[in-house]
Structure 1
């Protein structure tokens, strides 16, 4: 019985060892394939000028665009911008292969005449489908700080501009309020009652009579008398019989 258990245990260990060897060999194969794929694609991209890139994009867009084709089109468009910053390709370092879940990613830093570029490709675990492809220029710490400072200044400038515009709008509201207040304070027009011309002929006759009487009593000529005003009293003065 003990001998049988020992044989079973030995058999299990041998099978486990063979499986581990097979997995290790498989991992090594995947790593080697990823290194070749990543390096080959970086070199291929670096050798394409803008005309070749545009031609390749047009070729991809003329057919059926699946997930892999969409990734390739986006990478080609990105390369046109990166190429201007990076310059011409010189060489690349070692490919770093990482695995996460059902994806395997290979990344490498390319050496260019103007600026290094980090290049990476992600596939499904069996390398049957391309999931992503990225090209990122490498910036120094000084360049990153400069870009961050410029972004901060632009953000602050935008905020201050908005605040100034808001302040001007609020200031303008004050003028609008004053204008409306002035409109409310305009007095209503005063209605002047219409005046009717009075018949002064009787008054002139009365003046002549009074002037003649005064001239007779004072023994002065009538022409020397001057009537300065005549006021007609409309009050209720009544003659009373004594």
Structure 2
């Protein structure tokens, strides 16, 4: 345990001081785009060695370096810890590309890993002291399409879930008193209810009684004429139709 802590402390100190120790007195100010060949070789050697050192760190060592007071060490460990799980095991390190601009040197190292490739981008100040490290994953076309498909499916699924929730909430409006849904429901129930049966209209009374009185008067007059008397001597009380059989 003590040996591991000692090694961690040594490496942490190397991150902060190696550039100053290796490049002491070697920095030269050049015009943008121009780099002294000696300085270039020194930056390449240091960047490659630092990359191999970072990739070979264990999880415990990374956690310790992330708590370092040195800004470059903590930021470099944070950048590597956030990407290492997506890369896998180291396969090969490519050639270093260095650019000089604005009193800063930028060194980019392409690294091939088991799962995906990545680029380690270091920035050195004019005194050749490392100030930052960025680890950019270079996703393959297949991985990019896979991530795009997953994002699309997630977006569509989210839309359907939100629509289902809205439909459910709208369906609850019918239970709210005084809401428009309650009034629409009442109108539908009234429209679906059977229409009341019409009140039967009483038929006009048949003028049977009036017709019989006239017929009685005619019959009484005929009888009185055949008897040679008046209608005062008898009263016709009823008239009955006799059904005669046809011969």
- What TM-score do the two structures reach when normalised by structure 2? 0.52
Give 1:6-25 correspondences, 5 Å limit: 23=30
Q: CA deviation at 1:120?
A: 1.2
Q: CA deviation at 1:147?
A: 0.6
Give 1:69-80 correspondences, 5 Å limit: 69-78=73-82
Which deviations, in whole Å up to 9, do the C-alpha atoms of 1:19-68 show, x marking residues without a partner? xx98488533332232122211110012112233233334x1xxxx3542
1:52 paired with 2:61, answer yes
1:140 paired with 2:144, answer no
1:176 paired with 2:196, answer no
Q: How many residues align?
A: 154
What is the SS of the residue equivalent to 2:79? Answer: helix
Separation (CA, whole Å) in 2 of partners of 1:153 and 1:30: 50
Give 1:1-242 correspondences, 5 Å limit: 23=30, 27-58=36-67, 60=68, 65=69, 67-78=71-82, 81-82=83-84, 84-130=85-131, 132-177=132-177
What is the SS of the residue equivalent to 1:126? Answer: coil
Tell which has more relative contact order, 1 or 2 (C-alpha 8 A, sep 6+): 2
CA distance 1:128–1:159, shift in 2 (3 Å): same
CA distance 1:50–1:171, shift in 2 (3 Å): same
CA distance 1:42–1:66, shift in 2 (3 Å): closer
Structure 1: which 4+ aligned runs deviate by more than 6 Å? none
Q: CA deviation at 1:142?
A: 1.5
Separation (CA, whole Å) in 2 of partners of 1:144 and 1:87: 17
Separation (CA, whole Å) in 1 of partners of 2:55 and 2:70: 24
Separation (CA, whole Å) in 2 of partners of 1:104 and 1:119: 14
Between stretches 88-97 and 25-34, larger displacement belongs to 25-34
RMSD: 3.1
CA distance 1:27–1:155, shift in 2 (3 Å): farther
Q: Which runs of 5+ in 2 are unaligned?
A: 1-27, 187-247
